[in-house]
Structure 1
Amino acid sequence: MSAPEAWHVTRTLRAMELLAVAPRSAPELADGLGVHVRTARRVLKRLESEGYVMLTEDRRRRYRPTMRVVALAGQVVERAELTQTAVPHVSALREELGRGCHLCVPSYLSALCLVHDAGDVGSGCRPHLRELVPCHCSAAGKALLAWRESWRDAVLAEPLGSFTDRTTTGPESLRRELGRTVARGYSVEDREYEPDTRGLAAPVFADTGEAVAALAVVAPTADLPADRYGEFGDAVMRGAAALSRKLGFVAPGEQPDPAPANTARAA
């Protein structure tokens, strides 16, 4: 593949990622891609002709992904090695803690839930399966931000939304909090995304040492009291470490597993 062809493929995939976050017009997409509006319009017209996007009824002529993309994404997520490897670890943590647990990966300015186990009773706490949540005020998202430096810089350069009166949106305040997260070993989200839930999360590493996902527990505030953060945090870190070893990650001072899984890459 020539360099121009590779750039076209990359640009198209980047366009789909931006459209997955929110519908966009050609000028809005051009701004997000850093290209001329004519280039963005050509990309949108090609995607529309192939059935990947459709024009909304918005007077600004915004485009959004079609169900063809949703179906494709669902197949990729379900069959991804990281997803399949993580399922028993997420379930084991849920059984240990008796609260809903999930695994998320970074996706543009958000965290995408790949695996969710709320148990037999179920839980209304977010994120739900395949749901995007803002990374700066969700437990899994903050764990990913803390251990993914380049992604953190990109996210904190963007305007961040406030969801409750406890949401932190200032970049420097978030940097300080993420520094404390690394020192602690797990992130804490305390009524920052939803007004009556809390969450804790720890990073999951691939064999390259990259934090490719975050393992989290999220529950109503009454079921996740602050005075039990240490207990729950230790369990989340143990679960994340076990999954990391399964992905081939070897922490300093540890011996590799006899047959590690192939490296899983983040979405």
Structure 2
Amino acid sequence: MANAAPRGRTSRPPAKTPAVKGRDNDAAAQPAASVTSRALALLGTFDSQHSAQTLSAMARRAGLPVATAHRLAGELVAWGGLEKRRGEYRVGQRIWRLGLLAPAQQNIAEVAAPFMQDVLFVTQNVVNLFILDGQEVLLVERMSGTGAGLPFRRVGARLPLHASAAGKIMLAYGPEDLFTSASGGLERLTPRTITNSRVLAAEIEQVRTNGYATTDEEAGPDNYGLAVPVFLPNNQVAAALGVVTKGRPASLGAVVPVLKIAARGIARRLGTEQWPQ
């Protein structure tokens, strides 16, 4: 019995570590989530100032290795999310089509388009429609014509609240805490950009008094903005409707009434539209 196991101990195979419920699924899902976040980071490098980029620029802005960016960009091109032309990448048609389905883009832009055309016809100025997007305003629709000149911004462009007429409208009529969060660090875009929070606060109070906002080369040189609010039936500001001019500011007496009439028309239509929940 020399080979017998010591008393009180039994010879048995090593115990297996019990499987933790969901561990295998979580491990399998982790790489997919990582790939998704990296692909989104790559897409997030595109904006109105970076509509066409080289692979190295995309990788640098996304904080990804070039090899990883190359592999993800190839997959996005195959899917239709990106297009490659002459060594540069652009947002693909598939992303553009998906963007058109967003409620903010689809509903407000479609409702506002006829009224924006009226403003363009009467004023012969480039007409813009902005909505609030975090700490910026997002250009969701634009109307221009041969007599209005070239537009300053593309649809999808974003502007800071303190340096744009539409942004000042949002600061004046938007959420109460918006001014506090937006005035923490006021970036200077031009020598005329307001960077003092007290000066900006006085300007926003004037916007509430006048019912319109203006900019005087604050977002760009030779760029003059004018905007009015578009309200929902509950008095919540839905958008800012405005014009932008080059060379000199738009005539307040001639343009503000046209904008306000159009804004009221958009507001009436928004009140009868069925908004997605």
1:174 correspondence with 2:186? no
Q: Which amino acid aligns with 1:58?
A: R
1:229 correspondence with 2:252? yes
State the structure with more CA Rg.
Answer: 2
- 8 A Cα contact 2:165 2:225, kept in partner: yes
Q: Which amino acid aligns with 1:207?
A: P
Partner of 1:136 in structure 2? 162
Partner of 1:38 in structure 2? none
Partner of 2:181 in structure 1? 154
Shift of 1:194: 1.4
2:111 match: secondary structure:
helix
Shift of 1:127: 2.7
1:54 correspondence with 2:81? no
- 8 A Cα contact 1:103 1:213, kept in partner: yes
Gaps of 5+ in 1: 1-40, 249-259
| Inter-partner Cα distance in structure 2 for 1:122 and 1:219 | 8
1:133 match: secondary structure:
strand
Q: Which amino acid aligns with 2:40?
A: Y
Partner of 1:213 in structure 2? 239
- 8 A Cα contact 2:124 2:148, kept in partner: no
In structure 2, do the counterparts of structure 1 residues 44 and 247 end up closer, same or farther at CA, with 3 Å as the change threshold? same
1:160 match: secondary structure:
coil
In structure 2, do the counterparts of structure 1 residues 43 and 144 end up closer, same or farther at CA, with 3 Å as the change threshold? farther
State the Cα RMSD in Å: 3.1
1:261 correspondence with 2:250? no
1:127 correspondence with 2:153? yes
Shift of 1:245: 1.8
Shift of 1:116: 0.3
- 8 A Cα contact 1:208 1:263, kept in partner: no
- 8 A Cα contact 1:77 1:83, kept in partner: no
Cα deviation per residue 1:118-175 (whole Å; 9 max; x = unaligned)?
Answer: 1135633423212112221111111121111332332123x12111111001222111
- Shift >6 Å, 4+ stretches: 41-44, 63-66
Q: TM-score, normalised by structure 1?
A: 0.68
Shift of 1:205: 0.8
Shift of 1:189: 0.7
Partner of 2:49 in structure 1? none
Q: In the comparison of the two structures, how many residue pairs are matched?
A: 209
1:114 match: secondary structure:
strand
1:105 match: secondary structure:
strand
| Inter-partner Cα distance in structure 2 for 1:202 and 1:96 | 16
Identity of aligned residues (%): 23
Q: TM-score, normalised by structure 2?
A: 0.66
Cα deviation per residue 1:203-237 (whole Å; 9 max; x = unaligned)?
Answer: 11112211010000101133x35xx2232222212
